[in-house]
Amino acid sequence: MVAIAYDDLTPGRVFDLGTVRIDRDEMVEFARRFDPQPFHLDEEAGKRSVLGGLCASGWYTSSLWMRAYVDHVLADSTSQGSPGGNELTWSAPVFPDDELRFGMTVNSARLSKSKPGLGLVEITGTADRDEERVMRFTFLGMFGTRA
């Protein structure tokens, strides 16, 4: 029996998705391939920018959150993927060696009208550095029911 099905994702339920420390080398490697803006590649360019220093591509932070979501929730679940979200906020720059705490909260859940056995769950994923929120992603997840 899987750990997480639609039935377990009740509104208000909160999940701790653990912590990660931002690895400078991987952060820059990601930016070099997918988001080669100067402030994501070079310390001096970062200092000259409004971001204040060499910082992570928002897509890197989001991808790290996704990995934590897979490890802590999706890996043992009835997940059927996601059609996307309606909010993706990068509210503060993320720097090398930052420790981020990942989490998620279930906002709402409803059964699909067209697909029996499938439920749609609205989830807000978060990344925090100490008390400061650095990322928030609100999206729909599709999960099979236990029945």
Which residue of 1, 12, 33, 113 would you call a contact of its own copies, by CB under 8 A? 33
What whole-number distance in Å separates Cα of residue 10 and Cα of residue 8? 6
What whole-number distance in Å separates Cα of residue 26 and Cα of residue 78? 31
Rounded to 5 degrees, φ, ψ at 58 are: -55, -30
Query: Could you tell me how many residues of this chain bind its own copies (CB under 8 A)?
Result: 39
How does strand 84-90 pair with strand 99-111? unpaired
By CB under 8 A, the residues from 7 to 26 that bind its own copies are none
57 near its own copies, judged by CB under 8 A: yes
Q: How far is CA 16 from the centre of its chain?
A: 12
143 near its own copies, judged by CB under 8 A: no
Q: Give the residues lining the site for its own copies (CB under 8 A).
A: 30, 33-37, 39, 49-51, 57-59, 62-64, 66-67, 70, 74-75, 79-91, 93, 136-137, 139, 142
